[in-house]
Every structure is written in C-alpha cells, then in structure tokens.
C-alpha cells in the first residue's frame, strides 16, 4: 500500500510539473509569436519531416491526436501561410502537409526561444541529474504506450 501511495504522489508531481511547463511554454509562444503550443507542435513535426512533409494520418499519429484535431489546428496555419496542404500524387484524397518558407523562418525563431525556455526550466539540474531523470522516465511501465519517454524528440 505504501509503494502505491508513493507512486500516486510521484505521478501527481510529474503531472503537475509537466502541466506547469506546458502552460508556461504555451503562454510564451502565444505572447511572443501568437502561436499556441498545439500549432508549435505541428510546425515542429513538419520541420523534422523535411521537404516531403507528412501525410495527415502520420502527423496525427506523431502528435497522438485525431485527424479531425489535426485538420482543425492546421487550418489557421494554412490560412497564415505557414503550412501548405497538398494532395497525394496517386490519390487526391490524401492530404500532405509541408512547411512553407515563411513557416520555416517562423519555426526557426520559435525553436530557438523554445530551447531557451526549456533549458531554463532544467537549469538547476546537473548534466548527470538530467541523464538520471531521463533514465528513470524510460523505466516507467506504461501499458499500451508506443511513446518512449526520454527519447530525443528535437
């Protein structure tokens, strides 16, 4: 029973810290760039995908959201000229999203600031403490998860 209580407390601590970091980053992105963290995540995924972009379904899988949610979040990015929606060469029903040059420039600026913000959050941890933290996260037993906590995303 004691370990269960400790596990719940650890989970609540992790959840609280994660939510606080996410809220802080979202606030900064909105304030400095007028972009939500959801839109930043889309731009980030498309930047990593390169010039070939990502099919809508793959983008949704990477972000762990529904395709409807992806469509809703990409619409303003398309309207603002940051993302382009193309159709598949062999199948016009397939949507493929890519960053525009404007989107690439904006994301580059956002990524620099994002790295600084996250670096600040973890600045009181030593390199060895960060490595230990990541090792602990990778040890979590998350049923049904395809995510790999601690895996390099950026």
**How far apart (Å, rounded) are the C-alpha atoms in residues 15 and 21?**
10
Strand partners for 97: 54, 85
SS3 87: strand
Query: Which CATH topology does 21-139 take?
Result: Arc Repressor Mutant, subunit A (1.10.10)
Say whether pLDDT at 31 is over 50.
yes
The model's pTM is 0.83
pLDDT at 151: 47
How do residues 45-100 score in pLDDT, each as one tens digit?
999 999 999 999 899 999 888 888 888 889 999 999 999 999 877 888 888 999 99
Let me know: does 46 contact 53? Beta carbons within 8 Å. yes
- Ramachandran angles phi, psi of 142, nearest 5°: -105, 105
> Smallest Cα–Cα separation from 114: which of 8, 50, 27, 55?
27
**How far apart (Å, rounded) are the C-alpha atoms in residues 13 and 91?**
47
- Ramachandran angles phi, psi of 83, nearest 5°: -130, 145
Q: Specify the long-range contacts of residues 80-86, CB closer than 8 Å, at least 24 apart.
A: 82/43, 82/106, 82/107, 83/42, 83/43, 83/46, 84/53, 86/53
List the domain boundaries for the chain. Answer: 21-139
> Smallest Cα–Cα separation from 39: which of 51, 28, 26?
26
Distance of CA 77 to the CA centre of its chain: 16
How do residues 101-141 score in pLDDT, each as one tens digit?
999 999 999 999 999 999 999 999 999 999 999 999 999 98
Place of tokens 């963290």: 37
């Amino acid at each position: 029973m004691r370990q269960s209580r400790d596990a719940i407390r650890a989970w609540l601590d992790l959840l609280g810290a994660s939510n606080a970091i996410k809220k802080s980053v979202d606030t900064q992105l909105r304030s400095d760039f007028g972009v939500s963290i959801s839109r930043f995540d889309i731009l980030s995924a498309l930047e990593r995908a390169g010039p070939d972009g990502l099919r809508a379904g793959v983008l949704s899988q990477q972000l762990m959201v529904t395709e409807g949610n992806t469509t809703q979040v990409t619409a303003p990015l398309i309207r603002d000229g940051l993302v382009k929606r193309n159709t598949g060469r062999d199948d016009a029903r397939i949507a493929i999203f890519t960053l525009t040059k404007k989107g690439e420039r904006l994301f580059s600026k956002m990524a620099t600031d994002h790295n600084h913000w996250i670096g600040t959050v973890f600045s009181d941890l030593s390199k060895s403490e960060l490595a230990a933290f990541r090792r602990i996260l990778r040890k979590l037993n998350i049923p049904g998860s395809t995510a790999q906590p601690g895996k390099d995303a950026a």
